[in-house]
A and B are shown apart, each in its own frame.
Chain A
Amino acid sequence: MPEPFQNRGPRPTIYESSRPGATCVCAPVADTRDASSDAFFGDYARQAAPALPQVSEVEIMRHYAHLASMNFGVDTGSYPLGSCTMKYNPRLNEWAARLPGFAQLHPSQPDETVQGALQLMYELQQDLCEISGLPGVTLQPAAGAHGEYCALMIFRAAHTAAGNPRKKVIIPDTAHGTNPASVAMAGYEVVTIPSTTDGLVDLEALRAALDHDTAAFMLTNPNTVGIFDPQITEITRAVHEVGAFAYCDGANLNAILGITRPGDQGFDALHINLHKTFSTPHGGGGPGAGPLCVSAELCPYLPGPVAVRTETGAYARKNPDKSIGRVRSYMGNFAIFVRAYAYIKMLGAEGLRGVAEQAVLSANYLRVIVQDTFTVAYNRTCMHEFVLSGANLKAETGVSTLDVAKRLLDYGFHPPTIYFPLIVSEAMMLEPTETEPLAALDALAEALRAIAAEAKSDPELLHSAPHTTPVRRLDEAGAARNPNLRVVQGFCS
C-alpha cells in the first residue's frame, strides 16, 4: 500500500507573507537612462504601484515547495482518472522542450532561422496523419476542446461552400461536456441522442435524427464507457449518407494506437490530445495541445499556417487555400510538440502499438479484479477504461461514489473520474494507463475492496473522508455563494 498523502496544512498566500522592503535577487537594477513613468506615458502613467508581494528568493522557493507538497501528480502515485490518460511523463520530453534552440525561438523569426523547429512540426504532422489515417492536420489548437471547435468551424466552412451551412450537430448522451459547448460556440444546435443499454450508439435513433440539416455527428470512439463501438463503419456511413461529417473526439486514442485508425473507420476529422495519448504533461490544467486531423476534402479549410516541405527540401509556413483563418496566435503550443515528437520517436510504430495493447490489457485486468467488489456498468471486454457503478453500494450503505473517491485519497490513490458518463448512476470511470505497474493495479483493487468493507462497517468514516490530506472536504457551496477570488489588500474595489 502506498504511503498516505503527507499531511501538510494550509499556508498563507505569498501576498500575505509580503514585507515592505523585502526583495528577490531577480529585481533589476534601474538603468541611469531610465525616465519616469510620467515622462513616458503622461496622463496614462500609473500613480500607485500594484500591490505585488515583497519577498526574498528563499521565501518564494519555500512557498512553492510547500504548495507542491500539497499536490498530487502522476509522480506521486496512481492516477486512474478515466478519459484523462494520466500516463507517465517521460523526462526526456522535459529536457528537450527546454533546449535553447526550441525554448528561445521567437515566432516572427524568418523561416531560414527556424528550420529545425519547422522540420519538427512537419514530421510531427506526418506522424499524426499516419497514426490517425487522415491526410491533413493542423497543430494549432491549444487543447482538445479547441480542436473540436476548430473542426466544427471547418465543417461550417465546407457546408457553406456547398451552399448550406446546416443547422445542427448530433452527439450521444455519453459525450464529454466540451462537445456540446463547442457545438454551441460554433453556432450549431445540439441534438442529443440516447445510447443503447449496452452503452453504444443507437443506430436507429441516429438515423432518425440525421437529415440534411445535420452538419456533423460527434463520437468518442472508444466511447466514454470504454467500449469500441463495433457498428462504427455503419455509423460513419449513415452520417455520410446525409452529407454530414463524422467527427471523432480523440480523447481515447490511446486504446487503438497502431491497431485501427479513425480515418479508416470513416471519420472525417479527429482531434488528438497530445497531453493524453502522447505523454506530454497535464500541468495541473494545461498547457496541452489538441492537433486536428482531417480528410482530404477538408484540408483546404485548415487554419494556417501549417509547416510544409518545399521542393528544395527546406521547411516553410503556408496558409491553406480556403483557410477558416487562425484560431489563436502564432503556430500552436510548440513546446508541447517537442515533447510529443520525442515520445513518438522513442516508441516508434511497435512501441505505440505496445502502448495500446498494454493499456487495454491493464484496464481489463483491473476490471476483472474489482468486479466482485463493485458493479461493472458494462461488464464485458473493455478497451483502455471501464465504468463502475456505486449505486448498489449506495443503496445498501448510504455511501456514495463521492465518499468512495474521497476515501481513496486516504489510501494514497488519486480517485477515478466520478459521476461521468452521465448515463451511469454513481459512476466511477477507471483508466489505469499502460504505465501503471502491476503491483499498483493490485493495490488499487485492494484499496477498493477495503473501502467497500468500510462502507458496511463504518460508513461515517467514508462520509467524512478524506482524513489524511492537507485539507479535508471543502465548503464548495460557500465558495460559490460568496466568491473570494483574490487577496484583497493593495487594490480594493
Chain B
Amino acid sequence: MDFLPITETERELMLQRIGIADVNDLFSDIPRDTRLENRLDLDAGLEEMQVSKRLEELARANSNAADLVCFAGGGIYDHYQPALIDNILQRPEFFTAYTPYQPEVSQGTLQAIYEFQTGICELCGLPVANAGMYDGATALAEAAFMARRVSRTRSRVLVAGSIHPEKIETLRTYARAGTLEVEVISEGQRSCNNTELCTALGDDVAAVLLPYPNYYGMIEDVAPLIEAAHEVGALAVLDCNPLLLSVLKPPGDLGADIAVGEAQCLGNAMNFGGPGLGFFACTEKIMRQIPGRLVGKTTDIDGHDAYVLTLATREQHIRREKATSNICSNHALNALAAGAYLAATGPKGLASLALSACGKAHHLHDELIRTGSFEDPCPKANFGYEFILDYCGTGHLDALYDALIDAGILPGICVGEKSLLVAVTEKRTDPEIESFVGEVRSHA
C-alpha cells in the first residue's frame, strides 16, 4: 500500500505536460553505474491491516507497564499521563505542522511553547527558558558548552560523578571534539565529595555541573558548591528533575545560573526512553548564549498579541558555524505535552502528586529495609521518589531481580552487582508495593 493520491491517468497527463514519455527520463543525472539494477532487498509492501497485525505482534512481544509493574526510573518515569494530553497531541494541526518559521500560521505551536517556557521558568525560578532540547543528556552537554562560551577563556568543567551516568557519557562524547575538558569528581560514588570538588576548582573552570537530585535519588548539599563555583567565577549548572521542582527549592533561588534536565516526567509516555524532552533555563545575564529555539511575545501590525521565534541570530540557519548550537529541533510535541500537563496538574496538583510519589517511595524504602534483605548505605540522605539500597539478602541480587521480573514486577535498575535503584511514582498502588515487598520476603 502507498499513500500516492495521483491516479495512473493523472500520471500520464503529468508526463505529457513535462514532455517526456517515461518517468525514468527524470533520473538521467544519476550516473548509470550508481543506479540500482534490481529493486531493494526489502519485504514486499503490505496492506494496512497486515502491517497493523505485525505491529501488534511486535508490541505483544514486550512486557509493558501494565504487565510489568514499573519501579524503574533513572530519568524516565512511569507517571500517570492524564487522558487529555494525548488528545491534544493527536490534533493534526499540532503534529503535522513544521517548525513555526511562518508565525502568521503557527500561533498555536508558538503560544504553546511560550507557555511551556513560562512553566519551566516557574519551576526553576529562573527568568529564561528555551523551547526544549532533545533530552536531559544533550541539554546537560549543551549547558557545559554554553558555560564555556560565556566564560570565553575557560575550558574546564567539573562534573559531580553522581549525575546520571548516561548524561556524563554523553558529555564526554561531546567533549571529544577537544574544545572542553571534562573532569568528573567522585566518579562511581553515591554522592559528590564536596571537598574534593572544591579542591579541583580554579580560575580555569567554566562551570560546575551538579545533580538535583542525583542519579541515586538523593538531594545532595549543592548550595555550598554553587557558592564555591561563583567564588572562582564559574557558572553553576543544576541537572534537575522538573517534577520534583514543584516541592524543591528552585535552582534560581539556590543561585544556579543554568538549570537543565529530563522532562519526560511532565506528561510524556516512557516510549522505551525516547523521544525525551530536555529543558533548559538560565539567567538573563547569559541568555544570549543559550542554545536552541526561543519564543518571544510581540505584536502584529494590527497591534494584536502574537508570538514568534526570536533571538534567532544565535541559531544555525543564520549564524552557521558561529551558532550557539547545531540544534534545529526542540521536541515541540513533547514540550506541548509538558505545557498541557503543567496546566492539568496546576500548582497544588503537581506538588501533591510529587509528595504522593515521595511518600510512597519512603514507605517502600522502609519496608524493603524491614525485610532484612536490603540496607541503606546513606540512611541520613534526603531523597524524593527514588532511592538506592544495597542487597544483603541470600544469594545474588540478580536472582532476586529475575524472580521479581517473573512475578510481574520491574523492581528498578541494578547498579553494580549489589545495589538496586528504585523509583515509586504516584501511580503505584499499595497492593503493588505490598506485592514487591512480599516477593522480596518470600525470596529471602
Contacts and interface: CB of A to CB of B under 8 A. Distances in A.
A2 interface: no
Interface stretch (A149-157, A206-214, A392-400, A448-456): A149-157
A492 B106 CA distance: 28
Interface string B76-96: 101010101011101111111
A73 B94 contact: yes
A238 interface: no
Interface string A391-423: 000000000000001100100001100001000
B121 interface: yes
A64 B363 contact: no
Given A75-B92, A328-B137, A364 B326 contact: no
A181 B52 contact: no
B43 to A, nearest CB: 6
Contact of A484 (B3, B105, B296, B320): B296
Contacts of B189: none
B195 interface: no
A45 B248 contact: yes
Contacts of B170: 325-329
B164 A49 contact: no
A227 B97 contact: no
A144 B63 CA distance: 31
A260 B85 CA distance: 42
Contacts of B17: 365, 368-369
A142 interface: yes
Contacts of B196: none
Nearest to A127: B42
A71 B105 contact: yes
B62 A35 contact: no
A153 B171 CA distance: 13
Contacts of A365: 14, 17-18
Interface residues of A, number: 207
A34 interface: yes
B63 A335 contact: no
A53 interface: yes
B33 to A, nearest CB: 7
B102 A72 contact: yes
Interface residues of B, number: 206
A35 B362 contact: yes
A68 interface: yes
A22 B344 CA distance: 10
Interface in A105-130: 105-110, 112-117, 119-120, 127, 130
A89 B96 contact: yes
Interface in A77-101: 79, 81, 84, 86-90, 92, 94-101
B304 A473 contact: no
A444 interface: no
A422 B336 CA distance: 32
Contacts of A264: 34, 36
A335 B274 contact: yes
A205 interface: no
B296 A186 contact: no
A332 to B, nearest CB: 5
A185 to B, nearest CB: 5
A185 B142 CA distance: 10
Nearest to A22: B346
Contacts of B3: 87-88, 90, 279, 434-435
A334 B15 contact: no
B294 A347 contact: no
- Sorted nearest first, the 5 A-B pairs with minimum C-beta distance are A330-B273, A101-B59, A348-B45, A27-B349, A107-B273
